[in-house]
Structure 1
């Protein structure tokens, strides 16, 4: 993936206000043109609030931002809200908070609250904290889901070798030295192409080759067979969360 450049700033102009008035009167073309011209502004707000550069086709926040901007066009009242861009930024920001909360709370929708304009450095301090907490909760929930998906995929892979995920604590060597030797054997299987292919193609450990490479007996390798295979599969398929336990 290439380096993402910062989104360019777009200034509000009389032409934009004219397009806004036309869009509020129901002129679809004016609405589309307004959204097109302010898309860099939308991306900038989303990037600032999410703490990273969002990208078209990859981040759900894009859809949230576009819908929020469309909502701002419908709701904007110059007599009550002042600058349209300030109003739109507030709507985008709060809809993004709603999105993170919705993700974290299992699709429970949080309604848009009153659109106050009292801000410090462009952002209410309390809302900055809310955004941070919502993002953190969203990240934790995403990590939990990814971890669960990884365990499911790993469990299916283990089943091909007649190993159950639930039996892993039982087959783990009890002594630290034995675990270290088994881990060393598993790393050799994962790192050496000929050993790796033997395991994946035949569904068994390359015991003869391993015996020549490690300082333990073939009998010990046979006794630790399931554990070595289980660890080797984590390393071969690069299960990121499970690798934390290996390391």
Structure 2
């Protein structure tokens, strides 16, 4: 279980390859899927879902890697409950969305003022999206170096034996994943929805409140 989480969030493959008889290609695919999913969720969260540039995706891929490099979790020894085996995963939810909220909001307001003033009249849509995305990403990455964490959450994950390997139950992994990042606007122990306005025309759009990474069970 520790090896799966290290692959998905840290991009650390050695334990998975050495202890779980996995391949580096499989581990890389797992990590890429995790990063890609969070990247898309961040893009949606900041209303850049219609961005045409691959550069925007790359910017948020790098941001997702930076965020998950600070993921904090602990895995217990396996224990038996009835006829099944479990591990307890203690997750310390990262509070990055709330840490950056004020700075991102100020950045969005400043961007919208510049749009209204005509500062971007000679800037193409794609170039604007890249500039905006980089600005948001810079704020997030700067705050990530001083990551704050919420109170720990403990998830019991069932371990199943398929005859060849021990596997973590997908529903348990989903719960772990959903606990990695605190939702914007929530308080410790709560959840909530969030909004941000990053559209070039200054209109407000609903942001995604679910930016978990959608990890896969292996």
The TM-score with structure 2 as length reference comes to 0.33
Higher alpha-carbon Rg? 1
Q: Decide which structure has greater helix share.
A: 1
Q: Decide which structure has greater strand share.
A: 2
The TM-score with structure 1 as length reference comes to 0.30
